[in-house]
Amino acid sequence: MIRSLVLSALALAATTACAQGAAEDLRERAYQAVLDTPGFSYGLTLRYTDADTSWTTEANVVTAAPGGFTRARIETPDETAAWDGAVFRVVFPRTHRVYVDSTGEKAEEGVFGLASFHPTFGLRLAHIENQANKVSLGPNVDVGGRPCRRVTYAMAAPGAPAVDIGVCYDDALALPSQITISQAASGSRIEMTFSDIRAVDAPDASVFAPDTPPGYSAVPYDQSGAPLVAVGAPAPPFSLAADDGTPVRLDAYAGQVVLLDFWGTWCGPCVQALPGLQALHRAYPDLVVLGLAAYEDADADPTAFARQRGATYPIVRAPESVVEAYLVRAFPTYYLIGPDGAVRFTAVHDDDPDAEAHLRTAVADLLGPPR
């Protein structure tokens, strides 16, 4: 859903409306503040909510624009993402890998892509203003104990969901202290609050091109089309145990249709997919759904996490040996296994934004209409 909101906000073929002069002045003042400063450092609190779920993450951000080339680095509890103007890198401790994307396309996604709505990242905010159907000014409000002026950019186009982007410009700093992205049709909302915004000297270029730490491997970030276990091949066997000691063996489900969901409590798209998987589990009593939680911290409780979000199917921790046997490189990854033990369907959310819909179709092909 986050990705769809970002893409909707960027790609709508909107009719350009004449923005009010005060809104233009606020935006121009923000960009002038960026031009006058070699670098910025600030905190970011990102909150996401929709009808089914909500979550919050914290990040530290550093940006610089020497010579007009924007560079940025974001550190969250789960990863460090950096763009040096040519290459996007993500240092991901859970998998001991550094994902590298020389196209920069992956920088448009996730927390990094959302943070790039801030003018310290570049011109995205100016593009939004140019594409907006309507620009409206709100009253002065308070964000983090500081007054700011809110501007709302309404984005709408035939056949596309309407999106409202709200920007609250800090009175003293000129820069946005909060940006929101809301989609009324889905009830989803992203709220980004920027705190402790400080001007800094332009950091060394190495800050935006982190080295591969010892013991890590560097792999292409965009591995679209990289192989999974082939459809028609036998599903790799595994014998695991749930947290309560209950054995979970793949061969125990011989003769049944089995859905494997490789996921993690740390993975936003995985968490958003949980209600849909539970609905599938409920609609098909003969479908075995197994949630294979990967790369979890020792003190994490993926079973309790999933139960709190309504999932009733078995949850089990997947060791790296099982993750590697199924060639999982991104999360969530789905495998649908037929009664004969052969793989019948695979999907990776990162490669296919409609993976969940295609999964439902594949289940219906095997088991017929839902009950």
CB 109 within 8 A of CB 103: no
Phi and psi at 134, nearest 5°, equal: -150, 140
What pLDDT score does 154 carry?
93
**CA–CA distances in Å: residue 330 to residues 262, 338, 349, 364:** 9, 23, 8, 25
**Helix boundaries (H) for 123-259:** 124-131
**Per-residue model confidence (pLDDT) at position 3:** 57
Show pLDDT as tens, one digit a residue, over the chain (371 residues): 555 555 555 443 333 344 468 888 999 999 999 988 889 999 999 999 887 777 899 999 999 986 667 899 999 988 999 999 899 999 988 888 899 998 888 888 889 999 999 999 988 888 888 888 888 888 888 998 999 999 999 998 777 789 999 999 999 999 999 999 999 888 899 999 999 999 999 899 999 999 999 999 888 876 555 678 999 999 999 999 988 888 999 999 999 999 999 999 988 889 989 999 999 999 999 999 999 999 998 889 999 999 999 999 999 999 999 999 999 988 999 999 999 999 999 999 878 888 999 999 999 999 999 87
Identify the pLDDT of residue 19: 44
**Cα–Cα distance for residue pair 314/321, rounded to 1 Å:** 19
Measured from the Cβ of residue 354, the count of other Cβ atoms closer than 10 Å reads 11
